[in-house]
Amino acid sequence: MKSSHTRHIGLESANMIAACILVLSVVLLIQFAVSQWRSMWITVAAQPLSSTLQTATGIPSEAIGAQHFDLLARATEELSHSPRMGNSWLREVRWYYRMMRGLDGICAKSFPALSSWAKGELITCSRYAAAVLDQRLNANVA
């Protein structure tokens, strides 16, 4: 017959396993949500840009770089006063851009591969802001 001490240890083990499963499930759910979110705005960032964007900003679409994000995001926000046009992920992408810029700054010397990846993410953020601005400029012209 098992003692109460042995049963107590068994219950603690079961609780620990349940807690680990819960934590792992939450982490995986967050990872999935972030991946899904990224795929949505990366799809927008990959869209071809019209000449309207270059006319409005002076930036050729093939020259858009990480340094253009703030300009493009500000222009997008200034152009979208209507709630109907305000439905984009720009605020969240700005948050992500700032995280990647910080990561790039931290990793530039110690982890060049990670820094290179972060730089690519920064460019994608700028492309997203350009695509949203281009959509809004074209909607205003139409």
The predicted-structure confidence for 84-122, as pLDDT tens digits, reads as follows: 555 578 889 999 999 999 999 999 889 999 999 999 999
| 7-28 b/e (C-beta count within 10 Å ≥ 16 → b) | eeeeeeeeeeeeeeeeeeeeee
pLDDT at 5 over 70: no
CB-CB contact of 127 with 45 (8 Å): yes
Instruction: Look at the block and give the residue holding tokens 């960032």.
Output: 45
Give the C-alpha distances (Å, rounded to integers) separating 114 from 32, 33, 92: 21, 22, 21
- In angstroms, how far is CA 3 from the centroid of its own chain? 53
Residue 142 has pLDDT above 80, yes or no: no
The per-residue pLDDT for range 27-85, each reduced to its tens digit, is: 999 999 989 988 998 999 999 999 999 999 999 999 999 999 999 999 988 887 655 55
Report the C-alpha gap between 127 and 46 in whole angstroms. Answer: 7
Residue 30 CA, chain-centre distance (Å), reads 13
Q: Please, are residues 94 and 76 in contact by the beta-carbon 8 Å criterion?
A: no
**What global pTM score does this model have?**
0.78
Judge whether residue 10 has pLDDT over 80. no
Confidence (pLDDT) at 51? 93
What phi, psi does 63 have (nearest 5°)?
Answer: -100, 5
